[in-house]
């Protein structure tokens, strides 16, 4: 695979910055932990590492919500269902699980499909970033 051209990288970073500006709500900030994970996910997005973005997105939402509610023991599915204020969170969790929990009898990835499905993977990664941003700026106590 080739390196991402700087023009495409910058276009993707500008999009992330615009999404953050649209979502930002004064007084509700993310933790340093979530911020570091978000920065890393942003680099992956700009580079076109779509599956990494999807996997990271669930980790960021999970970490952020746990910090907001102060509960480190609740299961991720319940955490998302009870505290994420948006649609499709179960879709994202299941999509991430598909990539993380390899089923040797029914693999979801091979090189040919990975290369052929870049547009779909990019769409999924873009949707997942939007969901992360929504989670980072929601306030579960309002």
pLDDT tens digits for 22-47? 887 655 567 788 889 999 999 999 99
List b or e across 33-47, with b for residues whose CB sees 16 or more CB atoms inside 10 angstroms. ebeebbeebbebbbb
CB-facing half-sphere around the CA of 14: CA atoms within 13 A: 6
Banded pLDDT at 140 (limits 50, 70, 90): low
Q: Are 46 and 4 in contact (CB under 8 A)?
A: yes
Taking 80 as the threshold, does the pLDDT of residue 2 lie above it? no
Taking 70 as the threshold, does the pLDDT of residue 142 lie above it? no
Q: How far is CA 57 from the centre of its chain?
A: 2
According to the model, what pLDDT value does residue 68 have?
82
According to the model, what pLDDT value does residue 109 have?
85
According to the model, what pLDDT value does residue 22 have?
85
Long-range contacts of 108-114 (CB under 8 A, 24+ apart): 109/51
pLDDT per residue over 62-82, tens digit each? 998 888 888 778 888 888 888
């Amino acid at each position: 695979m080739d390196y991402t051209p700087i023009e495409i990288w910058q276009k993707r970073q500008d999009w992330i910055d615009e999404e953050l500006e649209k979502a930002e709500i004064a007084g509700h900030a993310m933790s340093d932990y979530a911020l570091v994970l978000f920065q890393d996910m942003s680099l992956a997005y700009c580079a076109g590492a779509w599956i990494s973005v999807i996997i990271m997105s669930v980790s960021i939402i999970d970490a952020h919500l746990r910090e907001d509610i102060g509960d480190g023991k609740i299961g991720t599915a319940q955490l998302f269902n009870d505290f994420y204020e948006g649609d499709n969170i179960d879709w994202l969790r299941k999509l991430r699980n598909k990539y993380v929990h390899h089923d040797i009898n029914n693999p979801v990835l091979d090189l040919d499909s990975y290369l052929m499905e870049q547009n779909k993977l990019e769409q999924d990664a873009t949707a997942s970033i939007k969901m992360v941003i929504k989670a980072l700026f929601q306030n579960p106590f309002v």
